Structure 1
Amino acid sequence: MAKSYKEIMNTIDTFIFDVDGVLTDSSVHVSQNGEMLRIMSIRDGFAMKAAIESGYNVCIISGGNNEGVRIRLRNLGITDIHLASPNKVETFKEYTELYNIKPENILYMGDDIPDYHVMQLVGLPTCPQDAVSEIKAISKYISHKNGGKGAVREVIEQVMKVQGKWHLYYNGKHD
């Protein structure tokens, strides 16, 4: 019998997120000088920081490359940031081998075709509500929120609640 996504959430110790379409709404605002600007949710940032401070691994794997995104993620305490990744599966394998992380203990959130193959390798493939149909078809959990609009916060909060860590965090009793 297949495990429910809530049962799988109980074993998660690592979160991996794509950027565009997951941490952003997949829009790119282009300035007059050609700089591409993205908008990220403060609530998603809060949840990623809470996860890190509660002992979870948080990793970013993205095909995009934007220094502003890197700075934002570093300011949240994320150290494993892989931007301009030409092969997400290869980056994923290098990351999991480096830290000896079991793929079945990973929640990966992606939204589009470049995430497809890596999502097939993890215990809990997830996506935002507005992900493409191919990604929705392989996701064990589809957020009720769109990318850049709280989908990351939703899955982190759910995992932490299932594991009894969310209330510890917001009550100030985290490590």
Structure 2
Amino acid sequence: MSFLSKLKDIKAFVLDIDGVLTDSTILITETGEQLRRFNVKDGYALQLAVKKGYLFCVISGGKSQTVLSRLNGLGITDVYLKVDKKIDVFNDFLNKHQLTADQTVYMGDDIPDLPVMKVVGIAACPADAVEEVKASSSYISPKSGGEGCVRDVIEKVLKAQGNWYDNNPSGQEELIPSV
């Protein structure tokens, strides 16, 4: 099955955080807090896909509560931090939502992502992923981690399924002019 035809079967996105949703940089404050940088364009695509009914699972070995807050703010509730074996969490996510692996896109950038990438419908990675991950990917975004690669993949899926455009991006009631 071709990449484009697989896009039409996708119901869920599974993402790594560091190097995918962020640019792999971790800034550490003097108090020990770890800060990451997210791309607002990725955020738009994430919240739009949630609004359109797509499921998301974010799996990371990291443990930042600010990351959890950011993702929850975008409508993503299946967020798993401090994970050693991503494949176990992935399988639990599939069972919880009655999905098959073929209905998912997984985007990762490094060695811990490979076990999940080998079983999903579409394995994707950012342009700056490690070579082993690139070799296992059916799609390599031209964008690097934290620089719009997540939006790139979400946009491709939503466009293939006719769900990209949002008629009401602000979420507010539309005003009808009086005559």
Tell me if TM exceeds 0.5: yes
**1:132 is the counterpart of 2:115:** no
Alignment of 1:72-151 (within 5 A): 72-151=70-149
User: Unpaired segments of 5 or more residues in structure 1?
Assistant: none
| Distance in 1, Cα, partners of 2:75 & 2:118 | 27
RMSD: 1.3
User: Unpaired segments of 5 or more residues in structure 2?
Assistant: 172-179
**1:172 is the counterpart of 2:157:** no
Local SS of the residue matching 2:157 = helix
What is residue 61 of structure 2 aligned with on the other side? 63
TM-score (norm 2): 0.92
| Distance in 2, Cα, partners of 1:97 & 1:47 | 25
CA shift digits 1:39-90 (9 cap, x unpaired): 0011111101000000100110111110000000001010100111111011
Query: What one-letter code is carried by the residue in structure 2 that aligns with 1:116?
Result: L
Runs of 4+ in 1 over 4 A off after TM superposition: none
| Distance in 2, Cα, partners of 1:82 & 1:36 | 17
TM-score (norm 1): 0.94
| Distance in 2, Cα, partners of 1:86 & 1:155 | 25
Local SS of the residue matching 2:143 = coil
1:143: how far off? 0.3
**Which of the two has higher C-alpha Rg?**
2
1:107: how far off? 0.3
Size of the aligned set, in residue pairs, is 170
